[in-house]
Amino acid sequence: MRSVPLIPLTKNKDLPILDVKYLINGGDKSLTNGGNMVSANDRLILMDGENSGEIFIANEKGFLGSTLKKLNFTCLVKIEFMDYILLYY
């Protein structure tokens, strides 16, 4: 059996928490170094409150806010098609 070297855990740098308020108007940037990572252009869906079901596109790398979930698409789906379905209906 082959030995695999351990990769030391590194602390993430401080990134913004992408919550609804921040995604809508960019206000009150709260930073953290842990959570569910989101990349720029990821699609997010609001899961709670009166606007639940609203779709957002992350404009920068950060950590997911508590009321949002990241939408993952398989390579079989074109992002442009999903944007059309999710953002225009």
pLDDT in tens, 31-60: 999 899 999 999 999 998 888 999 999 999
How much is the pLDDT for 11?
61
Please give the structure tokens belonging to residue 15. Answer: 């990134």
- Stated length of the chain: 89
DSSP string, 2-22: ---PPPPP-PPPPEEEE-HHH
3-state secondary structure of 83: helix
How much is the pLDDT for 9?
45
pTM for the full predicted model: 0.74
User: 6 pLDDT band (50/70/90 cuts)?
Assistant: low
